[in-house]
Amino acid sequence: MNVWTAVLVTAAGCYLLKLIGLSVPAGLLDRPAVRRFAALAPVALLAALTALQTFGHGAHGLVLDARALGLAAAGFALWRRAPFLVVVLVAVVVTALVRLVAG
Amino acid sequence: MIASQRNGPPAAANAPAPPRPLDGDPAGGHQARAVPDRAVVRDALGVGLAVGASGLAFGVAGAAAHLTVWQTCVLSLLVFTGASQFALTAALAAGAAPFAAIAGALFLGVRNSLYGLRLGPRLELPRLLRPLAAHAVIDETTAVAMVQPDRRSTRIGFAVTAVSLYLTWNLTTLAGALGAGALGDPTRLGLDAAGPAVFLALLGPRLREAGEQRSVALLGAVLALAATPLLPAGIPVLLAVVAVPVVGLLRRKRPLEES
């Protein structure tokens, strides 16, 4: 399976997930367990993705490098309620600066 | 799409409408809270344009993950739900098996089903329009539509947010993908920190309220990190979902401490 297949399968799947909600009668899916999973699964996934992309190195390694400082700065910006793109920019700039200074 | 923006522009849409001239309109009858169309359009455009600009970050992420400009743009055109797009891209870049990459993106898309359940009765769309409208059932359109007081403004809010966000998101994706290619070494420029910062920014607003969400986030991150040396790429992210039932069980065991 190549990248294009992954792109198109994801597109089809995400579209169907959206369509299901608009199409099925409410009550069929609107159960506490489903609602809880839909609310919390993204939290778990996003936290995992944040952690792995900050500390991951290759397929199986973990490392503490300039990205961690960049992300700490981004976390501060987020806490100060900075807009989305500013948060991302802070992470990029701080990471680049740390690498520049550390040589 | 970019849920973090809920504390930005959508908050403006969220704010209970300040007293408006039409509030006292006797013709309004019981719909005393009716909002002028212009105000709905303004709020919706604010959200659509502001959040749409974040497509720039996705374009850059696609390029950094070595996707072609076409692949990156098709993701924005056809997937059109930011968190899933970023997750798929990140997983592919990390060398995850495609099925694991797809599964992560779909898990993130499940919430859109629930948005549709809530939007359906409010929009009351004709059957023929549903397949088209479905593509736009995402964080931002839901946030704008659900705070409107009546069906007319709900429909206007949904449609204007959808169209403005779709156009902006796709144009900035293209700009980001083309621009990043011209920048050179993404690591030296710190662009490898953009990915995790995006996920952190998406996560942030969900952690503002203490409680279950924070526990799930913490356990999810720990599980994924602990599993990384042991499991194939892409699987540790999926494993994080286990945090949802685990935290649920732990909390149920000590309900007294909660109250």
Nearest CA in chain A to B123: A22
Using one digit for the tens of pLDDT, what is the confidence trace for B41-62?
Answer: 998 998 898 888 888 889 988 9
Say yes or no: B118 and B222 in one domain. no
Task: Determine the average pLDDT of the residues in A42-52.
Answer: 91
Closest CA to A83 of B82, B4, B208: B4
The pLDDT assigned to A60 comes to: 83
In this prediction, residues A20-46 reach a mean pLDDT of 83
Q: Which residue of A has its CA nearest to B208?
A: A79
pLDDT score of A74 more than 50: yes
Find which of A8, A16, A52, A78 to mutate to test the B interface (most B CBs within 10 Å of its CB).
A52
Backbone angles phi and psi of B148, in degrees to 5? -80, 145
**Are the C-beta atoms of residues A50 and B18 closer than 8 Å to each other?**
no
Helix extents (H) in B29-188: 37-52, 55-64, 69-74, 82-93, 98-123, 130-134, 139-146, 151-183
Highest mean predicted confidence (pLDDT) among A86-90, B63-67, B219-223: B219-223
Same structural domain for residues B11 and B73? yes
Residue A61, classed as helix, strand or coil, is strand
Determine the pLDDT at residue A87: 92
Whether chain A has a CB inside 8 Å of the CB on B199: the answer is: yes
CA-closest candidate to residue B146, choices B168, B182, B115: B115
**Judgement on whether residues B96 and B123 belong to the same structural domain of the protein:** yes
Sort residue B150 into left (φ over 0), alpha (ψ -120 to 50) or beta. beta
- Of B42, B51, B101, B50, the C-alpha closest to B81 is B51
Alpha-carbon distance of B43 to B27, in angstroms, equals 24
Which residue of chain A is at minimal alpha-carbon distance from B135?
A: A15
Asked if B193 and A75 come within 8 Å (Cβ–Cβ), the reply is no
> Do B47 and B119 sit in the same domain of this protein?
yes
Residues on chain A touching B237 (C-beta within 8 angstroms): 45, 48-49, 52
Say if B232 is an interface residue toward chain A (CB within 8 Å): yes
Highest average pLDDT, of A14-23, B4-13, B44-53, comes from A14-23
At A62, the amino acid letter reads: L
Are B89 and B214 in a shared domain? Answer: no
CA distance from start to end of chain B: 34
Mutate to test the interface with A, among B72, B81, B114, B247 (most CBs of A within 10 A): B114
B183-197 tens-digit pLDDT: 766 677 788 888 889
Identify whether residues B254 and B158 lie together within a single domain: no
Residues 28-47 of B with CB under 8 A from A: none
ipTM of the complex: 0.89
When pLDDT is averaged across residues B175-179 and rounded to a whole number, the result is 92
Q: What residues are paired with A56 via a beta bridge?
A: A62
Specify whether B179 is located in the same domain as B222: no
Concatenated DSSP letters of B134-157: HTT-SHHHHHHHHT-SSHHHHHHH
Domain identity same for B228 and B174: no
Chain B residue with Cα closest to A2: B98
Q: What angle do CA B44, B49, B52 make, to 5 degrees?
A: 115
What per-residue confidence (pLDDT) applies to B23?
36
Q: Helices B98-123 & B151-183, crossing angle to 10 degrees?
A: 150
Q: Which two tokens stand for residue B15?
A: 């704010």
Phi, psi of A68 (to 5 degrees): -60, -40
Mean pLDDT of chain B: 83
Q: What is the mean pLDDT of residues B225-250?
A: 91
Give the model confidence (pLDDT) of B80-95 as tens digits. Answer: 998 899 999 989 988 8
Q: Is the pLDDT of residue B15 over 80?
A: no
User: What residues contact B211, with CB distance under 8 A and at least 6 apart?
Assistant: none
> Is residue B223 domain-shared with residue B258, that is, in the same domain?
yes
**B217 in the same domain as B96:** no
* CB pair distance less than 8 Å for B54 and A84: yes
Is A95 in contact with A66 (CB distance < 8 Å)?
Answer: yes
pLDDT tier at B199, thresholds 50, 70, 90:
confident
Query: Above 60 in pLDDT, residue B100?
Result: yes
Looking at A8-17, B169-178, B205-214, which range is the least confident one? B205-214
Q: Phi, psi (5° rounding) for residue B80?
A: 45, 50
- Extract the tokens encoding B200: 């952190």
Domain carrying residue B22? 3-208
CB contact under 8 A, B138 and A18: yes
CA distance A22 to chain B (A): 4
Separation CA B110–CA A46 (nearest Å): 14
Say which of A15, A20, A43 has its CB closest to residue B206. A43
Total structural domains in chain B?
A: 2
Q: How many CB atoms lie within 10 A of CB B36?
A: 15
**Percent of the residues in chain B that have a pLDDT greater than 90, as a whole number:** 44
Closest CA in chain A for residue B243? A44
Q: What is the largest CA-CA distance in chain B?
A: 68
Which amino acid belongs to residue B253? K
What pLDDT is stored for residue A84 in this prediction? 83
Residue B48: CB partners within 8 Å, gap ≥ 6?
A: B140, B160, B161, B162, B163, B164, B165, B168
Whether B143 and B70 map to the same domain: the answer is: yes
Whole-prediction pTM: 0.77
Question: What pLDDT digit, counting tens, does each position of B102-156 carry?
Answer: 999 998 898 898 889 889 888 999 999 999 999 999 988 998 898 889 999 999 9
Residue B24, pLDDT above cutoff 50: no
Overall average pLDDT of the A50-76 stretch: 92
Query: Which of A14, A30, A95 minimises the CB distance to B81?
Result: A14
Selection from B196, B168, B224 nearest residue B64 by Cα: B196
Do B224 and B168 share a domain, yes or no?
no
